[in-house]
Amino acid sequence: MRWALIGASTIARQYMVGAIRAGHGEISHVLSASAERAGTFAAAHHIPNFGSDLEEILADPDIDAVYISTTNEKHLSQAFAAVKAVKHVLCEKPLALTLEDAVAMVRAADEAGVVFATNHHLRCSGSHRAVRALIASGRIGRVLSLRLHHAVHLPPHLQGWRINAPDAGGGVIPDITVHDADVARFLLGEDPVAVVAQMASSGLGEGVEDSAMSVWTMPSGAMVMSHESFTHPFAGSGLEVHGTDGSIFARDVMTQNPIGLVDLVTASGREAIEFEKHDLYEEGVRRFHAAVAGEGEPAATGLDGVKSLAVALAVRDAAIRGVRVDVNYGGLV
Ligand code: NDP
Strand order in the sheet with 269-273: 269-273, 261-266, 246-251, 238-243, 143-151, 223-229, 211-217, 194-200, 325-326
Residue nearest to atom 45 of ligand 1 (CA): 32
Quote the pLDDT of residue 182: 98
Q: What is the mean pLDDT of residues 138-150?
A: 98
pLDDT in tens, 214-239: 999 999 999 999 999 999 999 999 99
* Ligand 1 mean position, distance from CA 158 (Å): 8
Residues β-bridged to residue 91: 68, 118
Half-sphere exposure of 78 (CA within 13 A, CB side): 28
pLDDT in tens, 37-94: 999 999 999 999 999 999 999 999 999 999 999 999 999 999 999 999 999 999 999 9
By C-alpha distance, which of 113, 32, 21 is closest to 68?
Answer: 32
Quote the pLDDT of residue 296: 97
C-beta of 52 in contact with ligand 1 (< 6 A) = no
By C-alpha distance, which of 187, 122, 186 is closest to 150?
Answer: 122
* Ligand 1 mean position, distance from CA 249 (Å): 32
* Ligand 1 mean position, distance from CA 12 (Å): 8
Cβ proximity of 221 and 240 under 8 Å: no
Is the model's pLDDT at 191 over the cut of 90?
A: yes
* Ligand 1 mean position, distance from CA 305 (Å): 18
pLDDT in tens, 80-136: 999 999 999 999 999 999 999 999 999 999 999 999 999 999 999 999 999 999 999
C-beta of 160 in contact with ligand 1 (< 6 A) = yes
Half-sphere exposure of 57 (CA within 13 A, CB side): 30
pLDDT in tens, 252-295: 999 999 999 999 999 999 999 999 999 999 999 999 999 999 99
Strand order in the sheet with 49-51: 49-51, 26-31, 2-6, 65-68, 88-91, 116-118
Residues β-bridged to residue 241: 146, 248
Amino acid at 247: S
* DSSP H/E element including 223: strand 223-229
Q: What is the mean pLDDT of residues 20-39?
A: 97
Quote the pLDDT of residue 331: 84
C-beta of 9 in contact with ligand 1 (< 6 A) = yes
CB atoms inside a 10 Å sphere around CB 228: 30
Cβ proximity of 242 and 148 under 8 Å: no
What is the percentage of the chain residues whose pLDDT exceeds 90? 99
pLDDT band at residue 332 using 50, 70 and 90 as cut-offs: confident
DSSP string, 73-107: GGHHHHHHHHHHTT-EEEEPSS--SSHHHHHHHHH
Return the best residue to mutate from 5, 6, 11 for the ligand 1 pocket (most ligand atoms within 8 A of CB).
11
